[in-house]
Amino acid sequence: MSGPISPSDQRFLRQFSTVIVILVLVAFGLIAIAAMVYDHMPQPADPALQRSTDARIAPVGAVYAGAAGIAAMQAAQAAAAKAAASEVAYGGTLDGHDIYNHLCHTCHAKGIAGAPVVGNKTMWDPRIAQGIAVLVQHAIHGYHGPDGNYMPPKGGNPALTDAQIEATVKWMVAQAK
Ligand code: HEC
């Protein structure tokens, strides 16, 4: 295999290199098209990554500003009031009979510790004569009677509101009429 390359081999080599050059150009063309298509496609979003990003950029506190802020603040206050109401005695009921059944009856049903018995007119008449306002004040703040007996403030449950006590006293007084 020495000597000059035969003319037929030269032709073959020329055509073969032309084919290779064309194929290389086609390959680069395909790479360019693929890169262009990829650039124009929406990037796939990883949901886990999205979630962790959202968590990281979530606001730490709320800002109460403008009309929406006022509404949000009122909602927060309403929620707080609702939570506080659950700490009010007996669900905050203003039903005197209901409150009596929960607490006051322990002394006032049978006259324990010298408590005036509910429905006993003789026991209640002189007390009612003081006026309902005085009875309510005695029930709220506690009362030492002249014969040495003691009505504890709010019957011993400070969670009762003044309005609840008033409703209960009114109910008790009504039973003695
Ligand atoms: C631990 C027992 C006890 C409980 C519980 C109790 N009371 Fe009394 N209460 C008394 C006694 C004792 C008196 C009488 C005090 C006296 O006049 O010496 C009294 C008196 C009263 C009087 C009359 C006060 C006056 O000026 O004559 C009212 C009104 C009253 N209680 C309301 C209530 C209400 C309302 C409740 C429930 C929220 C309640 N009590 C729970 C013991 C109790």
Q: Identify the domain containing residue 1 by its residue range.
A: 1-41
Ligand 1 atom at minimal distance to the Cα of residue 114 = 12
Q: How confident is the model over 43-90, as pLDDT tens digits?
A: 777 888 888 888 888 877 766 777 777 888 788 888 887 776 667 788
Answer with the residue of higher pLDDT: 87 or 38: 38
For ligand 1, mutation pick of 107, 122, 137, 150 (most atoms within 8 Å of CB): 107
**Residues 88 and 28 placed together within one structural domain of the fold:** no
pTM reported for the whole predicted model:
0.62
Length of the chain in residues, anyone? 177
How confident is the model over 28-57, as a mean pLDDT?
89
**Residues 143 and 170 placed together within one structural domain of the fold:** yes
C-beta separation of 157 from 142 below 8 A: no
**Residues 140 and 98 placed together within one structural domain of the fold:** yes
Does the beta carbon of 136 sit less than 6 angstroms from any atom of ligand 1? no
Q: How confident is the model over 77-124, as pLDDT tens digits?
A: 888 877 766 677 888 899 999 999 999 999 999 998 899 999 999 999
Q: Determine, yes or no, domain membership for 58.
A: no
Residue with CA closest to ligand 1 atom 23:
135
DSSP per residue, 108-160: HTTTGGGPPPTT-HHHHHHHHTT-HHHHHHHHHH-EE-TTS-EE-GGGG-TTS
**Residues 153 and 112 placed together within one structural domain of the fold:** yes
Q: Is residue 98 classed as helix, strand or coil in its secondary structure?
A: helix
Answer with the residue of higher pLDDT: 49 or 31: 31
